[in-house]
Structure 1
Amino acid sequence: MELKFLDSKSSSLSEKAALVARTKSSPFSSFEHSVGVKFSQEFSSCRGVFTKASYLSSNGTFMPKRAISSVDKEKTAAENYFYQISTNGPGSSLFSRNIGVLDACDDEYGGVVVDPDRLPVNPDAFAPMLQFSLSHWKMKGKKGIWLKLPLERSELVPVAVKEGFEYHHAERGYVMLTYWIPGGPCMLPSNATHQVGVGGFVINDKNEVLVVQEKFYAPSFADVWKIPTGFILESEEIYTGAVREVKEETGVDTEFVEVIAFRHAHNLDFDKSDLFFVCMLKPLSAQIKVDDLEIQAAKWMPLVEFVAQPLIQEDGLFKKIIDICIARLGKHYCGLLPRQVVSKFDDRPSCLYYNVLDTGNVNCNGN
């Protein structure tokens, strides 16, 4: 069985009436009044458009539920459809059903964000609604369509892909698909391009560095002692992520001092770029409690012994990071401190990391 939309622009009334006449011999002949569809809209930025049908009477006369003004004709021109069912038998039939535009909100860039909480459960119901919605949004001059399908609606993914939607990104509980309506290159923003990591350089009053050996490592890192590192969590600040990672891996409480440096690398895990922030932290406790899931061992290691490791001496990146940290300990280098700022672009607080050379700062003189 095949569902076809018959646009009112492409089919004359007589053609529709002829098609209606053939329903007498179809499985749908119980429909005494086959339907010519005229839609009335109930639409706001976050509500769907629901269709209401006007009828062809049994003698073939078109009987609209209400008169259609010239304005109505303009509004509904792209939305007047008959639904033709092609069967394996000798003929086709027309029938009507209430098909609505998927519930969605307009975004600020001329696009549409479909409401994931109001999606049809049945893929067979979703398919015609999606087709009709795309036609409606095209007529309205919309651009990008964002379709978020929760895990419990995963059976709708093949339907959307068949209609031309593309994968954008996925999380544990959903997959996001997009559709670009205008011709030319897609202008929708791509998925997140970076992952963000942190490392905590923790040194105590005895000039000992808090170091770890990880359980899972490349052969070249065997027997290497390194600073605690990890990825920051979603919506987590850099400085709180560094403090958390040190606590999780070693059990040591710390206080954030400064961002000492950061590295930018490309084409790493999943071909993503990587930002890695090295943070200097002040220890607030000394007792070590190792995280058995990730860490093989942890200890306080004399700074000179830590620096003397072959990997540190032979690796340009590691050696430079340690040189910067030592310069900071000698107050010859100033790192970056977070300051809370609010931008008028989004009216949200955020952290801006920068340093201010202050001659009265006893911790850093920058000389």
Structure 2
Amino acid sequence: MSLCLEFCHKGIGKAGFRYHHAESDYLMLVYWIPHTPDSIPANASHRLGVGAFVVNNKREVLVVQETSGRFGGTGVWKMPTGAVNEGEDICDAVIREVKEETGVETEFVEVLAFRQSHKSFFQKSDLFFVCMLQPQSFDIQSQASEIEATKWMPVEDYAAQPFVQENELFDFIAKICLSKLNDNYTGFSNVPTTTSSGKKTYLYLNNDAIGSHLLASKEQA
């Protein structure tokens, strides 16, 4: 394979092409024709992740302990998390991840917050969306391949974990979730929209007085 790549690389270089990106079924090469600086956009730069804040009417949050990775064997209880698949909406991805990891059916409520970090998975940037969901079922069936344990935990106990309190980002997220439960915070609801090309998509907006007005206008139209 290395000899083949070396041979191909020599031919590619002579022809003026350069590698752009690769997927499982193709290798993309590009060649900038004009005699100006190459301005071909880079390949996808971000990976999307979601975290699920699922809380029941007893102020209990759905939490998991993972079998491997950063949190494997640490005893830390965390919210279900995962990656958004290509072509998948954030609101659908977080519902899917909760179902896969815990067996619990949920309904999307809103995006509470998101953070951006750099040089993460494969040195790409990372966008992580913390979403609030309402449970539609309560029986737990943990995903054996990834999840060590799952339970409903008082939200105050979740926020009081030493790891959460000692980690600035996790502590911040926990406080946002608590503020939401205490009606002191409003996140971003998903509003179905259509682009000029007819593509169905979601606009995430703060559902305050302005957001309510926009939704009312959309429904009247």
Whether 1:260 and 2:112 are equivalent positions in the alignment is yes
Instruction: Summarize the Cα distance change of 1:219–1:284 in structure 2 as closer, same or farther, 3 Å threshold.
Output: closer
Instruction: Summarize the Cα distance change of 1:291–1:329 in structure 2 as closer, same or farther, 3 Å threshold.
Output: same
In the other structure, the counterpart of 1:352 is 203
Whether 1:313 and 2:168 are equivalent positions in the alignment is no
Q: CA deviation at 1:216?
A: 1.1
Q: What letter corresponds to residue 184 of structure 2 in structure 1?
A: H
Whether 1:236 and 2:88 are equivalent positions in the alignment is yes
Q: CA deviation at 1:343?
A: 3.1
Relative to the length of structure 1, the TM-score reads 0.53
In the other structure, the counterpart of 2:101 is 249
In the other structure, the counterpart of 1:334 is 186
The percentage of aligned residue pairs carrying the same residue is 49
2:130 to 278, 283, 304: 278
Q: CA deviation at 1:156?
A: 9.5
Whether 1:211 and 2:211 are equivalent positions in the alignment is no
In the other structure, the counterpart of 1:74 is none
Instruction: Summarize the Cα distance change of 1:195–1:217 in structure 2 as closer, same or farther, 3 Å threshold.
Output: same
Instruction: Summarize the Cα distance change of 1:251–1:157 in structure 2 as closer, same or farther, 3 Å threshold.
Output: farther
Higher helix share: 2
* Counterpart Cα distance in 2 of 1:305 and 1:225: 10
* Counterpart Cα distance in 1 of 2:133 and 2:207: 19
Spell out the pairing of 1:1-367 with structure 2 (5 A cutoff).
157-158=8-9, 159-218=11-70, 222-344=74-196, 346-358=197-209
Q: What letter corresponds to residue 307 of structure 1 in structure 2?
A: A
* Counterpart Cα distance in 2 of 1:335 and 1:245: 20
* Counterpart Cα distance in 1 of 2:194 and 2:72: 45
* Counterpart Cα distance in 2 of 1:241 and 1:282: 15
Instruction: Summarize the Cα distance change of 1:333–1:188 in structure 2 as closer, same or farther, 3 Å threshold.
Output: same
* Counterpart Cα distance in 2 of 1:271 and 1:168: 16
Relative to the length of structure 2, the TM-score reads 0.86
In the other structure, the counterpart of 2:215 is none
* Counterpart Cα distance in 2 of 1:266 and 1:156: 34
Aligned length: 206
Q: CA deviation at 1:352?
A: 1.0
Computed over aligned residues only, the root mean square deviation of the Cα atoms, in angstroms, reads 2.2
Summarize deviations over 1:181-223 as a string: whole Å, max 9, x none: 2223211111001000000000111211111111112379711
* Counterpart Cα distance in 2 of 1:172 and 1:256: 32
Q: What letter corresponds to residue 356 of structure 1 in structure 2?
A: N
* Counterpart Cα distance in 1 of 2:71 and 2:127: 24
- Structure with larger Rg: 1
Q: CA deviation at 1:341?
A: 2.1
* 3-state SS, counterpart of residue 69 of structure 2: coil
Structure 2: state its 5+ residue gaps: 213-221
* Counterpart Cα distance in 2 of 1:276 and 1:292: 24
CA contact (8 A) 2:104 2:136 kept: yes
* Counterpart Cα distance in 1 of 2:154 and 2:71: 24
Q: CA deviation at 1:301?
A: 1.2
Instruction: Summarize the Cα distance change of 1:185–1:321 in structure 2 as closer, same or farther, 3 Å threshold.
Output: same
CA contact (8 A) 2:59 2:155 kept: yes
CA contact (8 A) 2:20 2:29 kept: yes
Higher relative contact order (Cα pairs below 8 Å, separated by 6+ residues): 2
